[in-house]
Structure 1
């Protein structure tokens, strides 16, 4: 094997041997059994769980539908070195600064006191042994001590501070720190040298459109460098919880493709909020903030890098010049993993590929995204298309 894939896989093998030597047999076996060794990349990168469960009590949260506890939280059982070993044995994970993006906070609160030390341990282990870019989302109050530790371990780490409502926060996020404490977290991390962003996720129709200007104003005043807005997904349980607390559901009902009474238990449904996100983007720019359509862009930006999609959207480029995808370079990269796909074009930051029947499109997508820093779309695939970051990155 030569070329793009060997660049990653040879580096991955060397790291795996190095990390393996730090673990005992039972520790290696535990890491190999762990889901992190098999997990596929998500829209924002590889989601890393630093805890199990969450106690914030957010009504719009989906982790209960996924089987995670919503009344307790405890540190994830793997050590930092074990986590790294699990990732280095994951078929789809690519290590290094030009490798897979990592996101913390998808199913737990990574800066909750009960799991904070484990979160810092994971960040330190990833940076020490692999160097991948890390992002975290949080509603926790971030002290000066924690901000300083984060900045020391990874000065480029991408902090997303979630604030979705000022007036309804005590209803929507019953046990989470109040928004004013989260604004202070933005200030504290900014003063520590980090580049915090406001995370307006989820956008909740009927609430967000009346509050986003005030939220963005406060975030900018406290030192946020930009905004990431994210969509809303609901399940029958989420709708029931919102209804029980008196939240007006009419705007949500207008924007979902299925009547609320027909939602199936445990199934998540997307709510159309693109018009609200466009207004958020326009206002953020007027305030002099960066607006990132997807969280992965913010992760690259705080680490001093860019991608082709960011350039196409007018976000100034940073870092080294990007590799430009071409028919020969893309198809060579695909052949290197045994995929005889066809390059169909490159436009507005998107590589279009038509894969063959036996192509592993998950691995192909991750390889092309990381190497070229471009979005990837598959056409006429017999497999399930890889949708990443809402079609971005």
Structure 2
């Protein structure tokens, strides 16, 4: 018979609205050390922080310092040396023993200058002094690749071109990502958002005094990046065919994982992952991309051995791009759920934008 202490789970301290949660407390407790290393956290995470809403009106969520972190392992900071906004990521060696090494390899000096490299750059790796299990990756501030939405066929095609090119680069260096999803592909937001945005409220300015204003991808092209190499593995081609046990990532629809948990080749699984991103985020959300359907269908087919390699995907996609006229690339990308009123407004806005971009010689395929 179990005692009450054995059967009752420990109580989790209640958190008042707007207070720091457990993950945020960790960042606050390391704020001084991080500042000594050259990274300044927002006022919310400083030891002397006093909530500003206590002396004002409104609810805590109306205030800049009332915003909790979307993900406890990630936090934004200002790099003291140049004022740049960066993101700090907490990595536990026991949970992701290869993440720092693989990310460092893919963004090393010899590889980071390769134009096909779309792996998130790492500015620095910090070792937490009192805990050898925790490392901090310092990365640029990125944004979800699909926000704001794509406006033209050319913008969507350019995303696919970069995504396929980036995965080709990763695979050519014998690394399987193993966790590609719409959460793990992001973009450099600086061309679109010159004043950036609030890390916890991306639709608002950094001071939360207004809506974050942005440009289109056609006017100011962006670069897309793969992030989160926590489940990735690097294979030695001399050791024979790559094999690894399935591990669930953000996309839990992988057909082969539902049939068997035995070791399998992770590279065709990456093809499924990237194909499923294109299928769910682009083909199922927008009209006008039907020319990509046959290629995507092959990438996400049930049998891994029948999927094309990333080299074949890139080659076939280049042929597809070559078949598209400039005006097809400039054509409006309509969302599938827009009503007649929204459609009318967007058609007119698109016509004026297109005329403007033609006059200032912006290419239909917005390469950065």
Common fold: TM-score over 0.5: no
